[in-house]
Structure 1
Amino acid sequence: MRRLFIQFYLLLVGCFTLAILLIGLVYQVSAERAGDRYLERMMQGSLGLLTGELARLPPAHWPARMAEQSRQLNLPLQIGALANQPLAREDQAFLAAGNIVIVEEDDTFLQRIRGTDQVLIVGPVPYLSYLHELHWVDVGLLLAIGLSLGLPILLWLRPHWRGLQRLEQTARRVGDGDLSSRTGLPPGSSLGQVGRTFDQMTEQLQAMLASRKQLTDAIAHELRTPLVRLRYRLAMLDPQPHEEERQGLERDLGALDALIEEMLTYARLDRPELPLQCSDVELGDWAQSRLADWQALRPEKRLERLVPGARLPWRGDVRLLDRALENLVGNALRHAGSRVTLRMELQQAHYLLTVSDDGPGIDPALAPQIFEPFVRLDQSRDRRTGGAGLGLAIVRRIARHHGGEVALLPSAKGASFCLKLPVHLDTNRHQPLTEADHEQP
């Protein structure tokens, strides 16, 4: 808002100054030149008589005559050599031709005494000095008027300023998850209609999110109830199905249960008001403590941890970090040929947690899609490998809730995902959760 005031003020003052300069230019071209010509003609008569008289007198009588004439005109009079006058060549030629020259630097009039190389110098003339002083007075008045414009502009902009500030504060609170926040602008405000529209949008957004949460909870409850019944009836079947068929049914029921859990997790993370349960942790030690659990997902494949010698202290929601790394490491182990690497490093104000595998890799052209929910890839990374298609979408939600991001890095072999987290969790953690940013760290 301060920038808006400054821009508007500078624009108004600039336009005002330009208009005054144009008016001054017209005045200078017309009025000042006309005044100078009138003054020259007026002085030409007096100076012409005096220089004509001096031309007829011997030079020895000039001082007495000039002293007498100086008292009559009440102006200083003196005589100087034409060659010594600080004039341009054109002005000297103009003066040598018998014309009057006005020297603005010292406010004097010059006219050559006919038949000599001497010049009659009249001045400084008070009127010319007054014109110069009046010029600076005009400049000062223009500056004072320009500065005085700031007060009415400020008085006019102040209610708009306060209204925009309330809109900005409300938008920030809504962005931070407080959907009950309202602008509360008075009806007479110039931004009242904008505020009411914003409040209506917030109310609709609040109602939509509440309805979606109720729908998600209801669907999860309604789906889990028949799952429990199916497991019970499967256990009560008599005679029991073959072991292979029973294991297939258990796998399908487990996949459906995992899908419900993934959907609930994604729905919770999709809410901007999700509170983080922050705690302090050293990332290297934490990853070492979780390494055995991740390795148990695919014991036949090798999982390595690469960390720098320095410690990596971090503050954030360790529960969500565990879920994000488990999804990335689990995907890598599922698609790797034989080896997965977890690398942790510090880069400026961010930690880079990179998970790489030696599997078939991912087409870089598909990078903008893989973090969207329920998106599956072709070739080897498809539905046959398991998963609900929500793992990477959940990782991105977790990263953004911490003010970070996740990206697919270029890799010569296999796939490489980098989870970028700020070293210090700041208040700017609520990034747009629906915007697909794919900036690589």
Structure 2
Amino acid sequence: MKITEIKGGVTAAKGFEAAAAAAAIKYQGRTDMALVYSEKPCHAAGTFTTNIVKAAPVKWDQKIVKESPYAQAVIVNSGIANACTGEEGMGYCKETAEEAAKVLGVPENAVLVASTGVIGMQLPMDRLKKGISLLKEAKGSTLEHGTAASKAIMTTDTVNKEIAVQVELGGKTVTVGGMCKGSGMIHPNMCTMLAFVTTDANISKEMLQKCVSADVKDTFNMISVDGDTSTNDTLLVLANGMAENPEITEENEDYKAFAKALNTVNTWLAKKMAGDGEGATALFEVKIVGAESKEQAVILSKSVVTSSLVKAAIYGHDANWGRILCAMGYSGAQFDPEKVELFFESAAGKIQIIENGVAVNYSEEEATKILSEPEVTAIADVKMGHATATAWGCDLTYDYVKINADYRS
């Protein structure tokens, strides 16, 4: 199957529109609300935060995804998270859905909502409702409309994040496009992210949810910036069927091709979030190879990518391999440290650091050069089998503390 990347985001698939609006929810002088809309009803799937403290929009969306036959619109605001806001916060979700239903002409239970920003603040509903009207006036299906939406959902992100790909299913060209935001409070188990993926694929609700739930394990659940699992993590996938491919109702070849396309989009978005971690200067990738099971490889890779000491060493371009071996050692996964091989790799080259658990005679200067690139990979071979896993994170810098010390002010 051939997956082709094209220019675009959430408006790339047939029938989807998007918009951005400046509603002054918290920020001044920038857009802070976004709309994703489909001209036809969509099957919806989603995955959400594992944090016990769940924001009101998460609870609302979980119910819509589970119980509503279809969805047609997503209303997003940045600046205020609508988390830890009690019954009032749930009321805001209902008010938002009611207003969007009235303005957009869709059922209330077809409206999904999402929020990101400061926890504990109440939403200014008068501004948010006005913003919904502004979104309707601004919505369109061009690339620019999708890009505007991707910028409106940013908080501490330094760049917007959007991608689109195409794949052929049953003789029809199917498009999958997505956008996301996420920079801080990001940790495996869905991270502090909002991600929205749209597709014109014709796929049943059951198979869409199955595909999304399976894929998130290898994409969004494999990234970390700071070890904090957010209250608002949401991935929503909308499929409107407008590509008119034969409906996917089982795990056939078309399902596998669609899953590959979705994985391409989600992996790209996940890596962009990890690389745009608050204050980050480098995307840090950790590959575990030669594991005896996928579970072991996942545990080891996550342990390394979340280690503050390892992340600090990456920031300092320091091949401090002992920290990586140490992080693997306390992960809880069993392996023989005296069999481990470790390599560093980037656009500047590849270098072996340890063999059978002991340092080889490598050049510190060459290692530093390799670790000075904006994307750096550590590869650890535990020599126990053929399973692999990859996790993504970023370096830990002074700016991370600066950004989060005054986030509310």
- Return the TM-score normalized by structure 2: 0.19
Larger RCO (CA under 8 A, 6+ residues apart): 2
Higher helix share: 1
Tell me which structure has the larger Cα radius of gyration. Answer: 1
Normalised by the length of structure 1, the TM-score is 0.18
Q: Greater share of strand residues, 1 or 2?
A: 2
